[in-house]
Amino acid sequence: MESPFKADIVKGKVALITGGGSGIGFEISTQFGKHGASVAIMGRRKQVLESAVSALQSLGIIAVGFEGDVRKQEDARRVVESTFKHFGRIDILVNAAAGNFLVSAEDLSPNGFRTVMDIDSVGTFTMCHEALKYLKKGGPGRNSSGGGVILNISATLHYTAAWYQIHVSAAKAAVDSITRNLALEWGTDYDIRVNGIAPGPIGDTPGLSKLAPEEINSKARDYMPLYKLGDKWDIAMAALYLFSAAGKYVNGTTLIIDGGHWLSRPRHITKEAVKQLSRAVEKRSRDKPVGVPTSKL
Ligand code: COA
């Protein structure tokens, strides 16, 4: 799909994207690169990183891959420093690395719960913590260009509750808190904008194939009126907006990009039936004599 944005809206900028080798993270890397940014991607799997970097380079994007696990502070520090050494500045950190699997609360071990908290929540904070030095106004490589941007990929699961996702719901709730608190503290002190994106079900991603395998997916459509899949492109366009100058006054928000999916409710009654019913109820209450108990009617 063609981008509605100018090809140079993030020209000369440098992006560090965790989980940038696959899924939503890779699409964000691609779109940032196509709009002029140089891209460093961080991931645990060497092969995935290598093939992602060569795919980006084949599009003419300046890209580099750094192996690392966001759960390890020494990896976070090394990758942030390597990105700075390689490109001479860092303008945006995108925390897209995430862990996920479906499991009922009773079958989830505390270590399984902790593992996802460690990747999503602690990992996001660790990356922000290590990147602060380079993102803050006046930091290395920033000259007079103001502070940088942080973008955290979240979810909508925790707005209500989600079956078999207690660990991820808890982790993403923490991510949203990190977004707001850093927006307050680092927005005020360092001119860094911190925002989030909460994607709905996005097609062709590792997340979707893990969390909504086809057999679940087809059933979900029956009881979720707004169920439709988004594209990775939808998320990347929002990321571009938040990264670019167009988003310069946006700080501390988590943008929901899900086609309204999280608002889905089953329709218990058709529009026609509700019209009839509602009129009948009105009529009954109009006809009811004042002061006569319902039991006597
Ligand atoms: N069901 C229940 N528990 C599970 C599980 C599953 N499908 N997968 C892992 N766990 C538990 C393990 O049993 C273990 O707990 P235990 O020690 O009490 O047995 C704990 O989680 C850690 O598992 P381990 O395999 O050691 O973790 P890992 O670090 O190798 O893997 C995952 C991390 C499990 C989150 C892995 O799925 C991952 O990294 N995925 C990344 C990609 C991804 O999911 N992307 C989509 C984002 S939406």
pLDDT (tens digit per residue) in 19-47: 999 999 999 999 999 999 999 999 999 99
207 lines ligand 1 (CB under 6 A): yes
**Beta carbons of 25 and 19 less than 8 angstroms apart:** yes
- According to the model, what pLDDT value does residue 237 have? 98
CA of 182 to the centre of ligand 1 (A): 28
pLDDT band, very low/low/confident/very high, at 145 (cuts 50, 70, 90): confident
In a domain, 202, yes or no: yes
Counting the structural domains of the chain, the total is: 1
Residue 193: pLDDT over 80: yes
Q: 297 pLDDT exceeds 60?
A: no
In a domain, 292, yes or no: no
Is 112 among the domain residues? yes
Has residue 5 been placed in a domain? Answer: no
Q: What CATH number corresponds to the domain at position 24?
A: 3.40.50.720
Q: Which residues contact 17 (CB under 8 A, 6 or more apart)?
A: 25, 28, 29, 32, 39, 40, 41, 42, 93, 94, 96
Asked if 81 contacts 91 with a C-beta cutoff of 8 angstroms, the reply is: no
What pLDDT shows up at residue 143?
Answer: 80
What b/e readout covers 157-172, taking b as 16+ CB neighbours within 10 angstroms?
bbeeebebbbbbbbbb
Residue 223 pLDDT: 67
pTM of the model: 0.93
98 lines ligand 1 (CB under 6 A): yes
Task: Check residue 291 and give its pLDDT.
Answer: 67
Domain membership of residue 261 (yes or no) is yes
Q: What is the 3-state secondary structure (H, E, C) of 104-156?
A: CHHHCCHHHHHHHHHHHHHHHHHHHHHHHHHHCCCCCCCCCCCCCEEEEECCC
Indicate if ligand 1 lies below 6 Å from the C-beta of 99.
Answer: yes
Mean pLDDT of the chain: 93
Q: Classify residue 80: in a domain, yes or no.
A: yes
Quick: pLDDT tens for 68-82: 999 999 999 999 999
Q: 226 lies in which domain range?
A: 14-269
Q: What's residue 60's pLDDT? A: 98
132 closest CA partner among 181, 171, 82, 182:
182
What is the structure's pLDDT at 108?
A: 98
The pLDDT confidence band at residue 163, using thresholds 50, 70 and 90, is very high
In a domain, 280, yes or no: no
Best residue among 101, 164, 211 to mutate for probing ligand 1's pocket (most ligand atoms within 8 Å of CB) is: 101
What is the per-residue pLDDT for 217?
A: 65
**1, part of any domain:** no
